[in-house]
């Protein structure tokens, strides 16, 4: 590792050596060039490029174990799992307890049915695994050896921590159903249902499949209906309900140890999301898809992780890898449109979603995604139409949703259709009376229009009580105090300083009015740094030039001039 430590000190000046991008001519010619290119790719989150360049560096220094492990991690996280398996075989010879190599090789043994070898490897690794992964994969290895009771015992060994118990009960149900014991599976899922309140997603699918197999179709229908009531756009659930209504008998969600291990890896990746090391989360999800290529939920998770980490092109490729006949194809197309939007390809994104609404005119999620995209693009009238279609579909299904009225209300308000906006906000509040987002938006809008001042302030205070750390809601309260000439209260209300130009602009105004001029100027400059709208930017700059009082005088004079009667030639 001595060489790597020495080279790592050069990361800060990598750009000076020609590595502003990761594809420079120097990058592949030398060990240092390849390694620095790999570091740069890793820093910007380009996993595939990092895997490529670290691999090139390893070709030039094949005995460097730290570089070998680093390359292995990036290869697996980038989806180059077959390539990573070869490297894992090399690494394990020199580092018998390497956790990444051990995980990969254990997965390979489960996939090829070498359950004894997999179990021996897990037991030899000891604490090298994440406790969830080691216990769950070990349990499935025991199941593969015909020891279902030992598999359950391994799962129960996770203990009573709530999050671990969820995994234990879920995989106990999967294992029992795979062992042709649907009644036992139902028992495990029922216990899990008590912890989850309402099972959704994969849990609902597994629970319903076991109930159907146990000849409890009425209970299965209840599970489906409860899950459906809490979700919008779950294509897999929709397909299962359609098959159920047609009298189909679903197979167990998991039937082999490899599929069980894939489910374990996917479950952990989904639980971690963006909260942990994204490289490891992607490794788990990629390995799940390698073990079970038709586990498109894991593919969808890979795409979402890539997109949220600004690897939008890679995300698009992942979304496009989900077959068009998959129940998750609609979710994949919505995700692909979001990735296109992040890349600034808004016309392509809009066309993708419009095409989806034409192909799936009865699916509300496509219209919701289109409305969101159009609203972000400030095409408010068209956004309102898209939301209206979604509202109609949800109401026809007996599942009206306050969020859609709130979103359409915002679109109407931005489009200048205040009466329609107000009606939607009030409808949303009828459905969800204390919803802080709606209370805040409607209250703020009333304040801006000089309407229902007392009621508006009461609504905003109620929103603040529920979300006292939400700077945007707190800003509304501060702005209300400001409009009511309650300047000290305005300052106290907006002392939270989120990174938002409007909030900081308002905070600056409040500070100015209580005589804290330097602090006000600081907040206005802060607002400018957060890229405000052009009209706001001009006003903020004017306040910095001449002060708030002078700006208000100018605005009052301009308003008076606009409202004055026009003189005629005969006046005087």
Per-residue pLDDT tens over the stretch 365-386: 999 999 999 999 999 999 999 9
Question: CA 563 → CA 449, 524, 554, 556, distances in Å?
Answer: 18, 30, 14, 11
- What is the tens place of the pLDDT at every residue in 89-108? 999 999 998 999 999 999 99
3-class DSSP string for 475-489: HHHHHHHHHCCCHHH
Query: Can you say whether residue 292 is alpha, beta or left, with left for phi > 0 and alpha for psi between -120 and 50 degrees?
Result: beta
From the list 121, 146, 145, 143, the residue with the least C-alpha distance to 134 is 121
Dist. CA 466–CA 519, nearest whole Å: 29
Dist. CA 35–CA 41, nearest whole Å: 10
Total residues found in the chain within this entry? 572
Orientation of helix 235-245 relative to helix 201-213, angle to 10°: 20
**Using alpha carbons only, what angle is made at residue 444 by residues 438 and 447, rounded to the nearest 5 degrees?**
140
Question: CA 174 → CA 112, 192, 293, distances in Å?
Answer: 20, 12, 19
- C-beta of residue 299 within 8 angstroms of C-beta of residue 289: yes
Q: Which residues contact 119 (CB under 8 A, 6 or more apart)?
A: 138, 141, 142, 145
From the list 447, 431, 521, 449, the residue with the least C-alpha distance to 486 is 447
- C-beta of residue 208 within 8 angstroms of C-beta of residue 240: yes
- The upper half-sphere exposure of residue 416, i.e. CA atoms within 13 Å in the direction of its Cβ, equals 1
**Would you kindly state where each structural domain of the chain is located, as residue ranges?**
1-96, 345-433
- The upper half-sphere exposure of residue 39, i.e. CA atoms within 13 Å in the direction of its Cβ, equals 19
- What is the tens place of the pLDDT at every residue in 234-253? 899 999 999 999 999 999 99
Dist. CA 203–CA 194, nearest whole Å: 12
- Structure tokens given for 495: 């002392």
Dist. CA 393–CA 287, nearest whole Å: 38
DSSP for 184-217, please give it. HHHHHHHHHHHHHSS--HHHHHHHHHHHHHTT-H
Give the per-residue pLDDT at 28.
56
- Structure tokens given for 152: 């359950």
Task: Give the chain's end-to-end CA distance (angstroms, integer).
Answer: 93
DSSP state, residue 26: G
Give the per-residue pLDDT at 187.
98
From the list 206, 246, 253, 210, the residue with the least C-alpha distance to 227 is 206
- What is the tens place of the pLDDT at every residue in 107-162? 999 999 999 999 999 988 876 667 789 999 999 999 999 999 999 999 999 888 88
Question: CA 220 → CA 167, 181, 198, 215, 225, distances in Å?
Answer: 21, 16, 13, 9, 9
Dist. CA 314–CA 221, nearest whole Å: 38
Give the per-residue pLDDT at 483.
81
Dist. CA 274–CA 283, nearest whole Å: 13
- C-beta of residue 432 within 8 angstroms of C-beta of residue 402: yes
Residues of the chain with pLDDT under 50: 1-26, 566-572
What CATH number labels 345-433?
A: 1.25.40.10
Query: Can you say whether residue 208 is alpha, beta or left, with left for phi > 0 and alpha for psi between -120 and 50 degrees?
Result: alpha
From the list 533, 532, 479, 530, the residue with the least C-alpha distance to 506 is 479
DSSP state, residue 568: P
- Structure tokens given for 125: 């690794």
Q: Which residues contact 71 (CB under 8 A, 6 or more apart)?
A: 51, 54, 55, 57, 58, 87
Which sign, positive or negative, has the C-alpha torsion 343, 344, 347, 351?
Answer: positive
What CATH number labels 1-96?
A: 1.25.40
- C-beta of residue 235 within 8 angstroms of C-beta of residue 328: yes
Domains 1-96 and 345-433 share a fold: yes
- Structure tokens given for 462: 């109620």
């Amino acid at each position: 590792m001595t060489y790597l430590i020495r080279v790592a000190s050069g990361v800060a000046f990598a750009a000076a050596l020609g590595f502003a991008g990761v594809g420079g001519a120097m990058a592949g010619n030398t060990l240092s060039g390849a390694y620095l290119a790999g570091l740069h790719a890793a820093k910007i989150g380009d996993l595939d490029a990092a895997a490529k360049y670290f691999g090139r560096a390893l070709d030039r220094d094949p005995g460097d174990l730290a570089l070998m492990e680093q390359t292995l991690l990036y290869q697996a996280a980038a989806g180059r799992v077959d390539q990573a398996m070869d490297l894992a075989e090399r690494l394990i010879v020199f580092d018998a307890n390497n956790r990444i190599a051990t995980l990969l090789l254990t997965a390979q043994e489960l996939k090829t049915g070498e359950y004894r070898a997999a179990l021996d490897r897990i037991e030899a690794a000891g604490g090298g695994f994440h406790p969830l992964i080691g216990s769950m994969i070990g349990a499935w290895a025991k199941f593969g050896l015909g020891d279902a009771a030992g598999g359950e015992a391994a799962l129960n060994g996770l203990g009573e921590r709530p999050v671990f118990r969820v995994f234990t009960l879920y995989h106990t149900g999967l294992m029992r159903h795979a062992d042709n014991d649907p009644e036992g599976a139902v028992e495990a899922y029922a216990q899990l249902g008590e912890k989850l309140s309402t099972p959704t997603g994969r849990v609902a699918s597994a629970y319903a499949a076991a109930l159907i197999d146990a000849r409890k179709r009425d209970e299965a229908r209840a599970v489906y209906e409860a899950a459906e009531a809490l979700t919008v756009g779950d294509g897999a659930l929709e397909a299962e309900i359609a098959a159920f209504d047609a009298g189909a008998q679903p197979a167990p969600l998991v039937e082999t140890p490899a599929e069980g291990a894939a489910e374990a890896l996917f479950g952990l990746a989904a639980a971690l999301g963006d909260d942990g090391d994204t490289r490891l989360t992607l490794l788990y999800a990629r390995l799940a898809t390698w073990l079970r290529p038709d586990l498109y939920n894991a593919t969808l998770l890979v795409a979402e992780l890539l997109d949220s980490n600004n690897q939008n092109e890679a995300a698009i490729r992942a979304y496009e890898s989900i077959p068009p006949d998959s129940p998750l194809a609609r979710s994949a197309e919505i995700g692909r449109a979001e990735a296109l939007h992040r890349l600034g390809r808004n016309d392509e994104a809009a066309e993708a979603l419009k095409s989806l609404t034409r192909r799936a005119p009865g699916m509300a999620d496509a219209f919701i995604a289109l409305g969101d995209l159009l609203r972000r693009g400030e095409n408010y009238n068209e956004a309102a139409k898209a939301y209206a279609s979604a509202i109609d579909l949800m109401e026809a299904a007996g599942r009206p949703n306050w969020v859609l009225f709130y979103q359409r209300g915002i679109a109407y308000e931005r489009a200048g259709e205040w009466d329609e906006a107000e009606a939607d906000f009030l409808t949303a509040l009828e459905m969800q009376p204390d919803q802080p987002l709606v209370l805040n938006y409607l209250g703020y809008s009333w304040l801006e229009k000089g309407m229902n001042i007392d009621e508006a302030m009461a609504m905003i205070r109620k929103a603040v009580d529920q979300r006292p750390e939400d700077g945007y809601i707190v800003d509304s309260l501060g702005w209300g105090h400001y409009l009511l000439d309650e300047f000290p209260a305005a300052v106290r209300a907006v002392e939270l300083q989120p990174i938002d130009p409007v909030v900081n602009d308002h905070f600056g105004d409040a500070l100015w009015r209580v005589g804290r001029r330097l602090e006000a100027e600081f907040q206005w400059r802060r607002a400018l740094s957060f890229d405000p709208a052009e009209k706001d930017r001009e006003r903020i700059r004017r306040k910095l030039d001449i002060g708030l009082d002078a700006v208000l005088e100018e605005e009052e004079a301009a308003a008076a001039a606009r409202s004055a009667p026009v003189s005629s030639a005969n006046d005087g």
